[in-house]
Amino acid sequence: MAAAGHQFFTPSYTGLGERAHLASPANDLETHIQDVLGVIEYENLHDVVLMGHSYGGMVATGVADRARDRIAQLIYLDAFVPTDDQAVVDLLPAAERDRLLGSVKAGDGWRVTPNPTPPDTSPEDLAWIAKFRMSQSVKCFEQPLRLQAALSVRRAYIHCTRYADKKPFAQFATRAQRDGWPCHDLDASHSPNVTAPVELMHVLGRVLPG
């Protein structure tokens, strides 16, 4: 991103990364929306291209709704695209929803176990990400998003097509095409920032403003 001339921010949600010490059963979707809104406000960011990956699509949608005058474009990277009053658990196939909620019951009662790593992840990448993957509060996935109004921001969708039959994201790519958004297929598994970063940047080069 820097080599392409972009200023790039990667906010950490409360309870993850360097903020892991703030993990709590009380953390929810609203907590993470406020995290990103805080970065936009205190870094004084305008004309933001906001990218949400996976669960981050929930967060990015909420941020774009609250900071309409700051967001120039919203990119969903193999991400959930909620409408008003939808939560992640509403958007999952039944089997995946049962796996998510079952992992909470099998654990300490509030943490969701991370998804299995895609089988095309290299041993080197597996060793790297294993140190950083963390569980989240189940409230992040159960809390519905409350939108203030219909979003009018420019949006695009990047659909990772490898193992697409085992993921819940094809429905959002189909919706994006139906609604006339730019929609790009990427031959990669769910986290191309890890497994296919060069190919991802090629697609982003077509999506991001010059």
Active-site residues, by number, are 54
Beta strands in 54-206, from DSSP E residues, in sequence order = 71-77, 111-112, 136-137, 154-160, 183-186
Q: Which of 130, 116, 205 is CA-nearest to residue 167?
A: 116
Q: What is the distance of C-alpha 38 from the center of its chain?
A: 17
Q: In angstroms, rounded to a whole number, what is the distance separating the alpha carbons of residues 93 and 91?
A: 7
Measure the CA dihedral 133/23/49/74, to 10°: 90
